[in-house]
């Protein structure tokens, strides 16, 4: 691609917008910016607003974000979808999040898909009775630790009260039962569902178990969903460093970990978009500070570990963290050097998720590859431009629709983790609490940033620029590949992973090397298409 | 034959059906230049796209009218019109197939009325054909959405007139390879035909050397228009309800000769299709197919010793189950469990007609069941093999029974759309796969690693 990215992409942007009717073009224009990483001159991007009808989006629904993403990976609770069959079926183990029951007696309910399978009669006469009975039966059969009830579109419309049913059943069964008003239409994307899930876990689960584990460095990892085993690798590294992981939200997780999460001394946020709400609420209620971390990329992993060590400020931990990094890195570097020799200079486009489009840029830059265009599917402005823009974000009707919990310090459980002096000292050293600088600060000047890229725009972007690799999800994968460009799925990693941590980075280097240097693409054109005259010579 | 009611439970555990608009979306993808549009929340389009894509491993564009909370209160008319406008601008489709969802159905949107308004406002030039079908997920299952969409396309697009030599065939929800085989057969019989839907290319296409805005292939709209002028119409599927049977509709409305046949799985059902086509084409069954049939019988003879008396559990859409059961009975196997998540109300009756009397009482038939019901039947019957989609894998694993993957969805193997189930050729492949799975199970369980079995 030409060196003058800004100019090239300005033309592309114009071309992409041309196809839309005037009103749609005006709206889409605000979602496409030419990047400037300087916070002073960084352009404002429109994000987290409704997708225009008829524009094929990558986005899912509120239910998908709530049940599918955040609560789905908890292995020992029964998640009942209250609604017609589709929603439950489509969210049945489709995200490749893995879990490891601790022993043969532990639960693994993730293989199951529970639904009330509402029928027309339930829509007409109400489905609460059916739901109550379904909860009872699920309890009888599986005896889970807790039951979550998820509302789908028609439930909100007919007025079934999932929370009332949850309260009644909690009383009757004596286990924790809680509801989620995550009707698909509620928010602009799955992002609304993340928020709803955060709220309910905070209200109903976090803080139920006050047992304090006997360990020195207690953290929670927020927004890590154990796709392809990412959480396993992070757990391995943390354990090696002597850091005690109380709870992961929500990869490889148990209900019990959530109940105990408030006893941690630090919250580490991976996916800022899906989980920052819980981080903020836990800080207010329990006094747990939060920091942004990123375990995607070997360098980023090392950086995040050092950040955690710095927070605890214990030389013993710092030493151990350094020893672990020193031990892990040589192997990583060996593989990186090999892959880098074949990947260096190649171009990448990433359109995925609410944090992945940012995090994976680290891994690509470790390979010497250049991110030329990126965007999120369901992120908000702060994920692009950094949390500094939070006060400036307009609250529209869709955002107002999602409950904002009023949180106050817990009179018994609130505890200062650091003295004011310690906090000031850390800040003076450049340590950032409760902050996320966003994706655009890291991307080069002149690169293209598109929010909620439409399927049409994506296809055109590939046709115009043919990047060496395009990262998206399964809905995009096959059209990208039809156009002769390799696709790495960053939602589910195809069949691969883990990509987090040190070993994950090695996996990623190999997978990307294999993809961008595959010979398959050479066969697309048959020999007779490449040089017809040659065939003619033979025939003669 | 023992007909089973689903176990009395309100909680569905691992459903054995998908939702209504998925079937409709697949049908619209089988029309040339068509874009499906779901009227409702964008999540429906996204979920259905990702589910179809995981099976077909092909791009699947489905638009949505993206309801917001206010659309649920004031109606989705404005959203639908805007969606149509935007889809037309981007894709210039020949047809837009609009399927409703729980959301638009629950609030009672009158889609036909909205479309009439849109047509008036938009005007005729450049306007694609608009077809609408009612597919709330709280009614029926994906197979109902499929049949209803086919019927809606025919009812809203086909017109009558002097008869042509064309034959119209409604293949039902089968694989892309099945559709290709059907087309090959029709071509070999020298028939001019319409096959609706035809997603053999759109959902199992070639790599592109130039960019395509809509995947090429599919039943041409011009031919669908002429469906009322067909010489004959064939509906494959015996469990299909009368009001969903598009061949019957063409017969009643336009006096087209209508036939209803089973899915051509196994010798008997394929023979019936071949004989019907021979009559319609006025010629003998091409030698190629007679040879395929001969080879298949020869294989039946060679391998029946591995199969005789073996029990199979079959699950999936009613007609797929029926076709499989009919074939299994032919080769001496017992279709011991015939289960479907759908409710056609006809599976038991149709099975009774197709299965030999001697096997009465050996088959458990269950409609409207989930995989937990099927599990309980498996506990009781202890089949030797499972035949169905990949969602049965946990049961295969739990009970150590081989799973022969057929139908939809197949998410744990590649090649789902290339699986052939139909005709002598498809039956041959099925037969070989089943025999080999049983041999393998025996081999794996034997104390010695025999390489000659």
Mean pLDDT over residues B203-223, rounded?
A: 93
B39-43 average pLDDT score: 96
Q: What is the pLDDT of residue A1?
A: 58
Query: What Å distances lie between residue A357 and A361, A362, A384, A443, B44, CA to CA?
Result: 7, 10, 10, 11, 24
* B26 interfaces chain A, CB cutoff of 8 Å: no
Rounded CA separation A503/A242 (Å): 18
**pLDDT surpasses 90 at B30:** yes
Number of domains chain A is built from: 3
**CB contact (8 A) between residue B103 and residue A185:** yes
> Is residue A538's pLDDT more than 90?
no
In whole angstroms, give the CA distance from residue B129 to residue A485.
33
A534 close to B (CB below 8 A): no
Could you list the residue range(s) of the whole structural domain that residue A176 is in? 62-186
Q: How confident is the model at residue A288 (pLDDT cuts 50, 70, 90)?
A: very high
- For residue A3, the model assigns a pLDDT of 63
Instruction: With beta carbons less than 8 A apart as the criterion, state whether B312 and B374 touch.
Output: no
Residue A201 lies in a domain: no
* A397 contact B CB<8A: yes
B436 touches chain A (CB under 8 A): no
- Does B13 contact A at CB distance below 8 Å? yes
Least Cα distance to B49 among B203, B217, B198 occurs for B203
Residue A533 has pLDDT above 80, yes or no: no
Q: What per-residue confidence (pLDDT) applies to B4?
A: 76
Does A246 share its domain with A151? no
Enter the tokens of residue A266: 């630090």
A322 and A349 in a single domain? The answer is: no
Give the closest of B10, B58, B68 to A185, CB-based.
B68
Asked if the structure places residue A358 within a domain, the reply is: yes
Query: What whole-number distance in Å separates Cα of residue A520 and Cα of residue A313?
Result: 51
**How crowded is the C-beta side of A486, counted as CA atoms within 13 Å?**
19
- Mean of the per-residue pLDDT values for chain A? 96
Task: State the catalytic residue, choosing from A13, A82, A95, A336.
Answer: A95
Do A89 and B9 make contact, defined as CB atoms within 8 angstroms?
Answer: no
Q: Is B43 close to A63, i.e. CB distance below 8 A?
A: yes
Query: Is the Cβ pair B13, A113 closer than 8 Å?
Result: yes
Residue A525 pLDDT level (bands cut at 50, 70, 90): confident
Contact between A347 and A470 (Cβ < 8 Å): no
Which listed residue (A31, A96, A194, A320) is catalytic? A194
Closest CA–CA distance from residue B355 to any residue of chain A (Å): 32
Could you confirm whether A61 is annotated as catalytic? yes
CB contact under 8 A, A153 and B101: yes
Q: How many helices (H) and strands (E) does chain A have?
A: 23, 14
| Residue A195 placed within a domain | no
Closest C-alpha among A79, A91, A101 to residue A176: A79
Q: Are A54 and A78 found together in one domain? A: no
Residue A246: closest CA among A265, A271, A232 = A265
* Same domain (yes/no): A473, A405: no
Find the length of chain A.
540
For B135-157, the pLDDT digits (tens) are: 999 999 999 999 999 999 999 99
Q: Measured between beta carbons, which residues in chain B are less than 8 angstroms from residue A90?
A: 18-19, 47-48, 50-51
Between the alpha carbon of residue A140 and those of residues A106, A136, A204, A264, the distances in Å are 17, 6, 22, 34
Q: Hey, where are the domains in chain B?
A: 2-11+287-445, 20-156, 167-281
State the Cα angle at A505 between A502 and A511, rounded to 5°. Answer: 150
Query: Which stretches of B137-220 are DSSP H helices?
Result: 142-157, 176-188
Looking at chain A, which residue has its C-alpha nearest residue B22? A86
Burial A341-351 (b: 16+ CB within 10 A, else e): eebeebbbbbb
Q: Is the domain of A360 the same as that of A471?
A: yes
Smallest CA–CA distance from A456 into chain B, residue: B90
Q: Average pLDDT in the B198-204 region?
A: 97
Q: What is the DSSP string of B145-161?
A: HHHHHHHHHHHHH----
Could you confirm whether A153 is annotated as catalytic?
A: no
Give the per-residue pLDDT at A532: 74
| pLDDT tens profile A219-236 | 999 999 999 999 999 999
Tokens 């979920």, residue located: B47
CATH of B2-11+287-445, one of 3.40.50.1980, 3.90.226.30, 1.10.645.10, 3.40.718.10: 3.40.50.1980
The 10s digit of each residue's pLDDT in B87-134 is 999 999 999 999 999 999 999 999 999 999 999 999 999 999 999 999
Rounded to an integer, the average pLDDT of B439-447 is 93
Residues of B in contact with A152 (CB under 8 A): 102
Assess whether pLDDT exceeds 60 at residue A23.
yes
Contacts B54 to A, Cβ<8 Å: 94, 474
CATH of B20-156, one of 3.90.1150.10, 1.10.3720.10, 3.40.50.1980, 1.10.287.130: 3.40.50.1980
- Cα–Cα distances in Å, from A382 out to A168, A447, A452? 39, 18, 15
Cis peptide before B409 (omega within 30 of 0): yes
Nearest Cβ partner of B46 from A61, A113, A153?
A61
Does residue A94 belong to the interface with chain B, where contact is any CB pair within 8 Å?
A: yes
Residues A367 and A279 occupy one common structural domain: no
Query: Mean pLDDT score of chain B, rounded to an integer?
Result: 96
Task: Kindly list the residues from chain B whose CB atom is less than 8 angstroms away from the CB atom of residue A525.
Answer: 209
Same-fold call for B2-11+287-445 versus B167-281: yes
Q: Are residues A242 and A313 in the same domain?
A: yes
Report, as an integer, the average pLDDT of B376-400: 97
Residues A293 and A338 in one domain: yes
Q: Contact B14/A113, CB-based, under 8 Å? A: yes
Share of chain A above pLDDT 70, in %: 98
State mean pLDDT over B401-421: 97
DSSP 8-state secondary structure symbol assigned to residue B313: E
Q: Is the peptide bond before A250 cis (omega within 30 degrees of 0)?
A: yes
pTM (whole model) above 0.95? yes
Does B121 touch chain A if contact means CB atoms closer than 8 Å? no
Q: Considering all CA atoms of chain B, what is the largest pairwise distance in Å, rounded to the nearest integer?
A: 76
- State how far residue A283 is from chain B, nearest Cα, in angstroms: 32
Task: Check if A82 is active-site.
Answer: no
**Nearest C-alpha of chain A: how many angstroms from B341?**
11
Whether B94 and chain A come into contact, CB under 8 Å, resolves to: no
Tell me whether residues A123 and B106 touch, CB distance under 8 A.
yes
Asked, for residue A55, whether it belongs to a domain, the answer is: yes
Compare CB distances from A133 to B10, B61, B69 and report the shortest one's residue: B10
Flag whether residue A528 sits within 8 Å of chain B, measured between CB atoms.
Answer: no
CATH number, residue A353: 3.40.50.1980
Whether the Cβ atoms of residue B154 and residue B249 lie closer than 8 Å to each other: yes
Cα–Cα distance for residue pair B306/B426, rounded to 1 Å:
19
| pLDDT for residue A2 | 53
ipTM at complex level: 0.96
Cα nearest neighbour of B73 on chain A: A157
The mean per-residue pLDDT over the stretch A326-330 comes to: 98
Residue A222 sits at φ, ψ, to 5 deg, of: -105, 135
Q: How far apart are CA A326 and CA A320, in angstroms?
A: 10
Q: Which of A47, A61, A66, A151 is catalytic?
A: A61
Is residue A96 annotated as part of the catalytic site, yes or no? Answer: no
Name the CATH code of domain B167-281 (choices 3.90.1150.10, 3.30.450.40, 3.30.450.20, 3.40.50.1980).
3.40.50.1980
User: Six-digit token pair at B376?
Assistant: 């309980």
For residue range B268-277, list pLDDT tens digits in order: 999 999 999 9
Contact between A487 and A411 (Cβ < 8 Å) = no
For residue A58, the chain B residues in CB contact (below 8 A) are 46
Residues A243 and A310 in one domain: yes
Find residues 206-265 of chain B whose CB sits inside 8 Å of chain A: 207-209, 211-213
Window 138-167 of B, Cβ < 8 Å to A: 138-139, 141
Q: Which residues of A touch B51 (CB under 8 A)?
A: 90, 94
Look at residue B40 in the predicted model and tell me its pLDDT: 96
Quick one: tokens of B167?
């034959």
Query: Do A380 and A391 belong to one domain?
Result: no
* Domain assignment present for A522: no
Inter-helix orientation angle B266-281/B287-307, to 10°? 170
* Token couple for B406: 């057929």
Same domain, A111 and A130: yes
User: Residue B301: helix, strand or coil by DSSP?
Assistant: helix
Domain assignment present for A512: no
For residue A206, is it within any domain?
no
Q: What is the mean predicted confidence (pLDDT) over A2-22?
A: 92
């Amino acid at each position: 691609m030409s060196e003058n990215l800004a100019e090239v992409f300005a033309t592309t942007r114009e071309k992409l917008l041309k196809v839309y009717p005037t009103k749609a073009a005006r709206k889409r224009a605000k979602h496409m910016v030419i990047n400037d990483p300087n916070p002073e001159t960084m352009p404002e991007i429109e994000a987290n607003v409704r997708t225009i009808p008829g524009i094929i989006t990558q986005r899912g629904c509120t239910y998908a974000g709530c049940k599918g993403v955040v609560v789905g990976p908890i292995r020992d609770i029964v998640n009942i979808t209250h609604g017609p069959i589709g929603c439950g079926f489509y969210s049945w183990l489709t995200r490749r999040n893995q879990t490891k029951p601790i022993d043969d007696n532990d639960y693994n309910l993730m293989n199951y898909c529970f639904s009330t399978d509402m029928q027309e009669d339930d829509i007409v006469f109400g489905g609460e009775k059916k739901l109550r009975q379904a909860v009872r039966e699920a309890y009888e059969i599986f005896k889970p630790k807790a039951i979550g009830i998820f509302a789908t579109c028609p439930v909100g419309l007919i007025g079934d009260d999932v929370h009332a049913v949850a309260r009644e059943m909690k009383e009757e069964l004596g286990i924790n039962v809680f509801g989620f008003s995550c009707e698909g239409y509620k928010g602009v994307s799955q992002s609304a569902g993340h928020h709803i899930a955060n709220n309910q876990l905070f209200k109903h689960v976090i803080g139920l178990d006050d047992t304090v584990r006997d360990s020195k460095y207690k953290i929670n990892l927020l927004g890590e969903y154990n796709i392809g085993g990412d959480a396993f690798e992070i757990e391995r590294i943390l354990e090696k460093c002597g850091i005690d992981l109380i709870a992961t939200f929500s990869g490889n997780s148990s209900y019990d970990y959530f109940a105990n999460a408030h006893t941690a001394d630090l919250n580490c946020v991976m996916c800022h978009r899906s989980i920052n709400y819980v981080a903020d609420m836990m800080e207010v209620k329990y006094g747990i500070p939060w920091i942004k971390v990123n375990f995607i990329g070997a360098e980023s992993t090392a950086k995040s570990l050092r950040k955690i060590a710095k927070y605890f400020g214990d030389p013993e931990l710092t030493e151990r963290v350094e020893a672990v990094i020193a031990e892990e890195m040589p192997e990583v570097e060996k593989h990186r050097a090999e892959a880098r020799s074949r990947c260096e200079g190649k171009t990448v486009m990433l359109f995925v998720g609410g944090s992945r489009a940012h995090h994976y840029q680290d891994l690509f830059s470790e390979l010497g590859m250049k991110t030329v265009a990126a965007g999120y599917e369901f992120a908000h402005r702060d994920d692009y431009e950094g949390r500094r823009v939070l006060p400036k974000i307009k609250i529209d009707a869709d955002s107002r629709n999602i409950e904002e919990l009023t949180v106050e310090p817990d009179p018994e459980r609130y505890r200062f983790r650091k003295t004011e002096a310690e906090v000031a000292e850390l800040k003076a050293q450049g340590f950032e609490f409760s902050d996320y600088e966003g994706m655009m600060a890291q991307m080069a000047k002149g690169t293209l940033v598109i929010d909620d890229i439409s399927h049409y725009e994506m296809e055109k972007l590939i046709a115009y620029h043919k990047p060496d690799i395009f990262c998206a999800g399964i809905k995009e994968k096959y059209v990208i590949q039809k156009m002769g460009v390799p696709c790495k799925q960053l939602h589910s990693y195809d069949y691969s992973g883990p990509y987090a941590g040190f070993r994950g980075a090695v996996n990623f280097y190999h997978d990307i090397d294999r993809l961008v240097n595959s010979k398959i693409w050479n066969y697309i054109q048959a020999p007779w298409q490449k040089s017809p005259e040659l065939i003619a010579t033979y025939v003669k | 034959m023992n007909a089973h009611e689903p176990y009395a439970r309100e909680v569905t555990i691992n459903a054995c059906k998908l939702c209504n608009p998925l079937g409709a979306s697949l049908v619209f993808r089988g029309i040339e230049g068509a874009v499906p549009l779901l009227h409702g929340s964008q999540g429906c389009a996204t979920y259905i796209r990702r589910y179809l894509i995981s099976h077909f491993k092909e791009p699947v564009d489905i638009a949505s009218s993206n309801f917001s909370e206010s659309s649920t209160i004031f109606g989705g008319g404005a959203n639908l019109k805007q969606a149509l406008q935007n889809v037309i601008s981007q894709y210039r489709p020949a047809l837009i197939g609009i399927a409703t969802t729980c959301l638009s159905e629950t609030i009672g949107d009158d889609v036909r009325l909205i479309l009439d308004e849109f047509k008036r406002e938009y005007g005729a030039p450049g306007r694609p054909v608009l077809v609408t079908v009612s597919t709330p997920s709280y009614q029926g299952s994906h197979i109902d959405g499929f049949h209803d969409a086919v019927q809606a396309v025919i009812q809203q697009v086909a017109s009558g007139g002097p008869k042509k030599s064309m034959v119209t065939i409604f293949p039902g929800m089968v694989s892309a390879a099945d559709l290709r085989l059907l087309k090959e057969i029709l071509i070999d019989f020298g028939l001019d035909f319409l096959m609706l839907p035809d997603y053999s290319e759109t959902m199992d296409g070639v790599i592109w050397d130039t960019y395509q805005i809509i995947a090429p292939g599919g039943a041409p709209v011009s031919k669908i228009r002429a469906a009322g002028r067909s010489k004959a119409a064939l509906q494959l599927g015996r469990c299909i309800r009368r009001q969903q049977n598009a061949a019957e509709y063409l017969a009643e409305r336009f006096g087209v000769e209508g036939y209803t046949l089973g899915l051509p799985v196994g010798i008997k059902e394929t023979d019936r299709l071949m004989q019907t086509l021979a009559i319609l084409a006025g010629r003998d069954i091409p030698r190629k197919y007679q040879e395929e049939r001969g080879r298949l019988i020869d294989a039946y003879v060679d391998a029946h010793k591995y199969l005789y008396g073996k029990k199979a559990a079959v699950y999936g859409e009613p007609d797929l189950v029926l076709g499989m059961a009919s074939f299994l009975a032919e080769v001496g196997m017992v279709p011991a469990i015939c289960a479907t998540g759908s409710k056609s109300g006809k599976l038991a009756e149709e099975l009774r007609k197709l299965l030999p009397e001697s096997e009465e009482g050996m088959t458990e038939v269950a409609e409207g069941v989930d995989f937990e019901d099927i599990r309980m039947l498996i506990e009781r019957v202890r089949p030797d093999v499972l035949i169905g989609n990949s969602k049965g894998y946990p049961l295969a694993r739990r009970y150590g029974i081989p799973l022969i993957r057929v139908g939809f969805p197949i998410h744990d193997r590649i090649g789902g759309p290339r699986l052939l189930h139909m005709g002598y050729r498809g039956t041959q492949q099925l037969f070989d796969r089943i025999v080999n799975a049983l041999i393998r199970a025996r081999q794996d369980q034997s104390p010695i690693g025999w390489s000659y079995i």
